[in-house]
Amino acid sequence: MSVCVVGSVNLDHVVRAPRIPGPGETILGTGVAEHPGGKGANQAIGAGRSGAETVFVGAMGDDPAASRLLAELRGAGVDAQVRTAAAGVPTGTAWITVGDDGENVIIVVPGANATVTELSAQERGLVASARILLLQQEIPESAMLDAASAVAPEALVLLNAAPTREVSPQLLALVDVLIVNEHEAADLHGAPATPPVLIEALLERVPAVVLTLGAAGSLVAVRGAEPVAVPAHPVKAVDATGAGDAFCGALAAEIDRAEPSSDLLDRLVAGARFATSVSALAVQRPGAASSIPWREEVLKAYPA
């Protein structure tokens, strides 16, 4: 297998509204829908639709949401190795409000995702057979440490440090590529700063960083080399939910397409360029997993 994603899977409940309400404010919504989601599942779908042989490791409840989410993963070509949580523990859910400008606010209720505290021997075997391990922070860190410790020596560990929370030195020591936006980077740094300062600080803790900057694109950096700017495509966003996950999954898939012996910076820059095109298409569609395009769509829209 090429890419192994260990992470969360949720059913997203999405409310559309003219804008994001303020504290204590009530406004009228314009629509409501359910979509497959969860950062882990979204990123696995992003990798699968980008052409990588992908396996997903996670947990769901024994409920109707699980069947729907499994179908979505498998429909993207993902080998879903999903355990069932104990009786009474539901599949994870997310409650999302999306404004007309595409911005969103999200509350995640982990459910079964919180039960993934360590990997089984079979799950560690899946990790060990992958060339890329992709992690996020919607499952307990103990499981992420377990997974990152099980990779093959030549494999790359990618950590999308989202949602933002403290990351232990033990986990960062196992990470090859850190993927963060400006807010997440500032939290890890301990204070807001300019992108170059954030990059410099993070490279003291991990070998490589991909810093996403929204409409400004991204910066790709490895120790000992100048950061490379990757511009974004100008688009009108409909729904930014899951766009970062689409980026991460596509990045992992494209890194895997390159020769493992090739320069890491070159692999990351090529991956970020393709992932930027994926996320540009994703933000023009509603939903999280459902908005992620297939590789053929991306190459048709952005052939360069």
List the catalytic residues. 245
The DSSP bridge partners found for residue 220 are 210, 228
189: left (phi over 0), alpha (psi -120 to 50) or beta: alpha
The count of C-alpha atoms lying within 13 angstroms of the C-alpha of 70, restricted to the half-sphere facing its C-beta, is: 15
Pairing type for strands 92-98 and 78-84 reads unpaired
Q: Where are the alpha helices (DSSP H) in the chain?
A: 39-49, 64-75, 121-128, 141-149, 169-172, 182-189, 195-202, 243-257, 264-282, 295-301
Residue with tokens 């429909």: 75
Q: Is the dihedral of CA 291, 288, 117, 73 positive or negative?
A: negative
Fill in the DSSP letter of residue 111.
G
Q: Which of 270, 269, 292, 268 is nearest to 280 (CA)?
A: 292
Sign of the CA dihedral 244, 245, 248, 249? negative
Backbone angles phi, psi at 225, to 5 degrees: -135, 155
Tell me the residue length of the chain.
Answer: 304
Dihedral class, residue 123 (left if φ above 0, else alpha if ψ from -120 to 50, else beta): alpha
How many Cβ atoms sit within 10 Å of the Cβ of residue 114?
16
Specify the amino acid at residue 182. E
